[in-house]
Amino acid sequence: MRGHISAQVVCTAIREDIVSGALEPGRRLVEDILAARYGVSRVPVREALRTLQSEGFVTTRHHAGACVAEPTAQEAADLLDLRALLEPLGAARAAARRTEAHLKVLRGLVRLGRERTRHAHPADLPQLDGWFHETLAQAAGSSSLTALLTQLRRKIEWMYVMETPPRSSQAWDDHGAVLDAVARGDADRARALMAAHVERSSPGYRLRHPATPAVRQTKRPVNTERVRS
């Protein structure tokens, strides 16, 4: 059973536990312990740790081995600057390369987002927002750009909490406007609208822990059944 679980699945599981705070910043990542935690052998764990180190979630310390990274406040701030550069680029590429399938999903997400906002269901909005941006990144038609945007969003989620803006309807109006530009194939307008959206939303980000700007410390149980599936 252990040999059938790929390094990619293990990498996803470890990354999710880092982002959620189940594996807190600075924690040692011992291969044997992780293998037992996820019900796998050490080989996929070792490969997963190498991938996570290349992504910046894991670091290697002298005499300690692999550990969860402890990003500085400056590194966290740099992520928001990168978002301001890459999200508009992704929207512009999506306007040129999106498919009808992408548009269908994006329209459904905007409709749901506006509906949840109108009926005061804020708990659903972060997930819907994430799906909108991830679908838009996929619509960019570039595996490299999509991977960069996806990794960037994961790291921002790791380091920041997004405070609910006083007018969340504005965010979904922004999404709707970007979608209209993407549907029309207007790359310049899609880029400009996304840049304005990112600028408006940036003040809502707060570091999860100002003293150690990485993740919240709340533990949660690991769903090993999900990992094995």
Q: Structural domain boundaries of the chain?
A: 2-70+215-228, 73-207
How would CATH label the architecture of 73-207? Up-down Bundle (1.20)
How is residue 73 written in tokens? 């406040």
How is residue 55 written in tokens? 């992504």
pLDDT at site 126: 86
pLDDT at site 67: 96
- Judge contact between 3 and 228, C-beta under 8 A: no
pLDDT at site 215: 42
State which residues of the chain have pLDDT below 70.
Answer: 1-4, 164-167, 210-229
Q: How many CA atoms lie within 13 A of 79 on its CB side?
A: 25
pLDDT at site 147: 92
pLDDT at site 165: 56
Fold of 2-70+215-228: Arc Repressor Mutant, subunit A (1.10.10)
Place of tokens 């530009």: 181
- Write the CB contacts of 88 (distance below 8 Å, at least 6 apart in sequence): 190, 191, 192, 194, 195, 198
How is residue 197 written in tokens? 């959206």
pLDDT at site 169: 83
Of 163, 160, 170, the closest CA to residue 207 belongs to 160
Check: pTM over 0.85? Answer yes or no. no
